[in-house]
């Protein structure tokens, strides 16, 4: 029943209510996300305080990236994997390709957010570009 209610109210929340709500700081798998809205995590598909967000990708980064490694990420999403790659690499270059302009800007904000303690921010390059044929994105690539 609870899931059904969420599915009923989710479109109303996203389209009518969310745009007028104040911003807050969310947290995904230990990474602070500075511009979420008050109701996010309750009526959205992901819990903002989830410690398992992008769990398999974060585990892979922790297991394979070592100090000094250069890392390239395709599809930066909310910036969580970018922060983890930067922390693991410490002094390597991190390059992120994100097709959607507003998501690329969100990644930049997440990386600059001081509580995320990203080492050497100047090593992180977020490129607003598609690296292959675009099939599906979380927004318009022509914003």
Tens digits of residue pLDDT in 23-67 = 888 888 889 988 777 766 655 555 545 677 888 999 999 999 999
* DSSP type of residue 35: E
pLDDT computed for residue 48 by the predictor? 47
Q: How is residue 3 written in tokens?
A: 């899931």
Q: How is residue 49 written in tokens?
A: 């305080």
Angle, to 10 degrees, between the axis of helix 80-89 and the axis of helix 55-64? 10
Alpha helices (H) along 13-96: 55-64, 80-89
* DSSP type of residue 24: E
pLDDT computed for residue 9 by the predictor? 77
pTM: 0.79
Task: Of 128, 118, 133, give the one whose Cα is nearest residue 32.
Answer: 118
């Amino acid at each position: 029943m609870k899931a059904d209610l969420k599915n009923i109210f989710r479109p109303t929340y996203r389209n009518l209510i969310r745009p007028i709500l104040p911003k807050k700081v969310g947290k995904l798998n230990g990474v602070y996300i500075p511009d979420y809205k008050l109701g996010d995590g309750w009526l959205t598909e992901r819990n903002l305080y989830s410690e398992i967000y992008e769990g398999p990708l974060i585990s892979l980064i922790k297991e394979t990236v070592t100090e000094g490694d250069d890392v390239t990420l395709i599809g930066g999403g909310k910036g969580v994997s970018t922060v983890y790659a930067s922390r693991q690499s410490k002094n390597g270059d991190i390059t992120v390709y994100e097709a959607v302009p507003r998501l690329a800007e969100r990644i930049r904000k997440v990386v600059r957010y001081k509580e995320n303690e990203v080492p050497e921010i100047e090593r992180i390059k977020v490129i607003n570009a598609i690296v292959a044929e675009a099939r599906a994105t979380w927004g318009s690539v022509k914003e």
